[in-house]
Amino acid sequence: MTRPSRPQLLVTVLDWGMGHATRTWPLIEHALGEGWHVHVASKGTALAWLKSRAEEMDQTHLTFHVKPGPEIKYAKRGNFWRIARQMPAFVTYVERERTWAQGMAQTLHLDAILSDNCYGCAVPGVPSVLMSHQLQIPTPKFLEGPARSVVQRWAQAFDEVWVPDLAPGETSLSGALADAQVHPSTQYIGVLSRLAKHKHPNPTQTWAKVGMVSGVEPHRSLMEAALRTWMADAEGPCLIIAGQPGGGTRQDGHISTWCDPTDAELASALQGAGTVVCRSGYSSQLDLAALGARAILVPTPGQPEQALLGKLWSERFGFVCLTQRQLEAGELPEHATGNLPELEPNIRAFGHLSMWLHEAAAQPA
């Protein structure tokens, strides 16, 4: 096969919800602007969301691929142990993922790989970066050491690890999750959000209440139902952001539903809300940080990472963090609280990406 005229970048995205897809999108756009052909690989809702973002842009140098991956199943309650029982299959899949990535590298003549939490997507001889904020997987205390060792072993296959956060310290957004030594070349690339470029300096309030639904079933639907109940007697227009690519919009009295808003619409809604409720998923928190917005945080039941992040933001930044049971019972305060550090989102990340891509392109084929 003839070698492509443009350098070829593979971006692999974990498909557990849409968070990894949303935070990776600005890097995909930046790589395209740097003159690379970008191959994006994911599956399920994450891939659908990524494709929807590309519909109105020139896709000459953008290609999508379905990346195989395990189907993680969730439960209404007792989620942690159900996920834990599936981890051996996930570990086995990482090894299968290596074979897939090697085939892609050979077929596409890859010059570089950027992997968002896809631990098997490193290929010897191809410059590769693992992006993750979860260098220490939250587990019971007795499993912390073994979990760190597994992540360290996987991370060593990559040339660098990038953490979308500030350096460890009092302003770190991910706390202990990203404060672990798993790779000698670990770069903290700052806050990363596709909403950053749509931040309004002087937003006006448009919505009394905004609820941002996210996560996998059944918790996505449980959260949406609870938010609608919370909004039922609100004085003023309310908005549900349903997180369902291609679902359109609808109106139910004073409650609007946007299934898949544009980035500009989402940024405007979050900045123009009297009160926001959302998950304490890290990508949602990155969006809040990029906009300087407050929210009431509701961790997904059984996901210890979100519980840890909710507790961290409550103690460090003064955010309100509630359980889903409290949300379902309507036990919400009138307004969100909290203050985040002043920061410049995306700038550091784009700088790291530009430098790395330049070095990768300069390597001999």
Domain ranges for the chain, please list them. Answer: 8-192+346-362, 196-328
Query: Where does 8-192+346-362 sit in CATH, by number?
Result: 3.40.50.2000
The residue assigned the tokens 């990406």 is 353
pLDDT for position 81? 46
Query: Where does 196-328 sit in CATH, by number?
Result: 3.40.50.2000
Flag whether the pTM goes above 0.85. yes
pLDDT for position 33? 97
Strands 249-252, 160-163: parallel, antiparallel or unpaired by DSSP? unpaired
pLDDT for position 80? 47
Q: What are the pLDDT digits (tens) for 80-125?
A: 444 445 455 566 778 889 999 999 999 999 999 999 999 999 999 9
Report residue 209: phi and psi, to 5°: -140, 140
Q: Is the dihedral of CA 86, 89, 91, 93 positive or negative?
A: negative
Strand partners, 65: 41
pLDDT for position 90? 60
Q: What are the pLDDT digits (tens) for 236-247?
A: 999 999 988 778
Residue 323 CB neighbour total at 10 angstroms:
14
Contact 153, 183 (CB under 8 A): no
pLDDT for position 350? 98
Calpha distance 106→103 (Å, rounded) = 5
Ranges of the chain whose pLDDT falls below 50: 74-75, 78-84, 86
Same fold, 8-192+346-362 and 196-328: yes
Q: What are the pLDDT digits (tens) for 117-162?
A: 999 999 999 999 999 998 877 666 666 677 778 888 999 999 999 9
Cis peptide before 138 (omega within 30 of 0): no
Calpha distance 148→208 (Å, rounded) = 43
